[in-house]
A = this chain, B = another copy of it.
Amino acid sequence: MSAEIICVGTEMLLGDILNSNAQYLAQQLAQLGIPHYYQTVVGDNPERLKEVIEIAASRVQILIFTGGLGPTPDDLTCETIADFFGVPLIERADIVEDIAEKFAQRGRIMSANNRKQALIPQGAEILPNPTGTAPGIIWQPRPGLTIFTFPGVPSEMYRMWTETAVPFLKSQGWGKEIIYSHSLRFWGIGESALAEKVAPYFNLTNPTVAPYAGKGEVRLRISAKATDATTAEALIAPIEKQLREIAGLDYYGIDNDTLAAVVGNLLRSAGATLSVAESCTGGGLGQMLTEISGSSDYFWGGVIAYDNSVKVGLLGVNPEDLEEFGAVSAIVAEQMAIGVKNRLSTTWGLSITGIAGPTGATETKPVGLVYIGLAGPGNEVISFEHRFGTIRGRSLIRYVSANTALDHLRRHLLTS
């Protein structure tokens, strides 16, 4: 028994809107434990929609339609479904009344167009729409096949799904088994390297483990099937623990954790404070740190030292070293870190200087060359050289640089 999501609307074929309804329904089906293997998008065209219904009805048992329930002539979903199964449409007086009342509430007169929305296939149940005029249906046109229709407006669909479709599906025995997932997040290791380390886990069946690439990072998704969240968590926990042990320091967080949040929590627990000195990231590291509400507990601020005069004037970088080694060098990164730490009187100082490109490279210093400096409580200072490559582009090099700086501090806080 499985489901197919069928989204109807020419606007998706033109790329005018993002199909967020499919994502919502996919998550919901997963949570209820209803397998679904296909999603189909088709335009407001009765012939092609019938083709799609024929294919879907031959391979799944639950068809979930969104879109095409509106009052305009191109909204054809309900009548096309009825037509496909050879069943007449019936005007339901209770729907006409409900639509008229909704118009009255908004101080408007119901137009003749809207009467169309009161037509539903003979034998179908109404799937009430509390916020809009288009109701959906729940219908068994033949044994072993159930059809749901929803309007395309996401907010209307969400309420109809949770208030009527979910209770109905649960009454049919679904939702006894749910799929529950956690994503483990890793920084500083590539997808294939991590995949090799944890390869045997990809053969597990419950929970399953699968890798996927995030922005500059890798994730492992652990998904369990169980009767409830607690049981699923119990299946996931030992695998999660083992994967974290295998990955060691490359693992940094779970689900919506960011490196900025993880580092922030470590600083808060240690009663430590942080300041930053940024050249090529130009404020992006501070921006990430302060995206976390409450970051003022540990983040004091910093200096955006984009021009060399700021590196010298505000951070105390030695002009002779700037001249000799260049702004993108380990020694300048170290002086920036120690400079900001001392100027702002924080426990830690973290700095970034590099070439984000596409211009600014020299013979010896390619785009993507980045130095990160870290100054600590005893004024000890270390630096790290990275080569993020020339192909990632300015924006991604800056993003990866800021997160890598946070990652160095994280590793340092965890091991020192």
Contacts and interface: CB of A to CB of B under 8 A. Distances in A.
Interface of A: 10-20, 22-30, 36-43, 45, 48, 51-52, 55, 59, 70-74, 102, 105-108, 111-114, 130-131, 153, 155, 179, 181, 190-193, 195-196, 202, 210-213, 221, 223, 276, 278, 280-287, 289-291, 293-296, 299-307, 309-310, 313-314, 343-345, 356-359, 387-396, 398
* Candidate in A19, A20, A357 with the most chain B CB atoms within 10 angstroms: A19
Given A131-B392, A283-B283, A30 B15 contact: yes
A29 to B, nearest CB: 8
Given A37-B42, A39-B13, A283 B287 contact: yes
* Candidate in A301, A313, A358 with the most chain B CB atoms within 10 angstroms: A301
Copies assembled: 2
Nearest to A16: B221
Given A14-B30, A314-B314, A114 B192 contact: yes
A12 B37 CA distance: 10
A196 B281 CA distance: 41
Contacts of A389: 102, 105-106
Given A286-B282, A304-B303, A113 B309 contact: no
Contacts of A17: 23
Contact of A41 (B39, B304, B314, B345): B39
Given A22-B19, A387-B106, A393-B131, A72 B14 contact: no
Contact of A38 (B36, B40, B73, B293): B40
A153 B307 CA distance: 34
A307 B300 contact: yes
B39 A196 contact: no
A198 to B, nearest CB: 11
A9 B127 CA distance: 31
Given A15-B24, A23-B18, A210-B74, A357 B303 contact: no
B304 A310 contact: no
The 10 tightest CB contacts between A and B, nearest first, are: A283-B286, A282-B290, A283-B283, A15-B27, A15-B26, A39-B41, A301-B310, A111-B192, A301-B306, A283-B287
B305 A301 contact: yes
14 contacts: A14-B179, A15-B30, A18-B18, A19-B23, A111-B196, A131-B392, A155-B396, A284-B287, A290-B398, A293-B356, A293-B358, A294-B359, A301-B307, A301-B314
Given A18-B19, A111-B190, A309-B345, 17 more contacts: A14-B181, A14-B223, A15-B25, A38-B41, A38-B42, A106-B389, A107-B387, A278-B283, A282-B283, A282-B291, A282-B295, A290-B398, A293-B356, A296-B306, A299-B306, A300-B310, A303-B304
A229 to B, nearest CB: 16
Contacts of A313: 343-344
Contacts of A41: 22, 38-40
A408 B359 CA distance: 29
Contact of A290 (B221, B223, B306, B314): B306
Contacts of A102: 389, 391
Nearest to A394: B293
B289 A282 contact: yes
Contacts of A357: 293
B309 A314 contact: no
Nearest to A285: B283
Nearest to A307: B300
B294 A300 contact: no
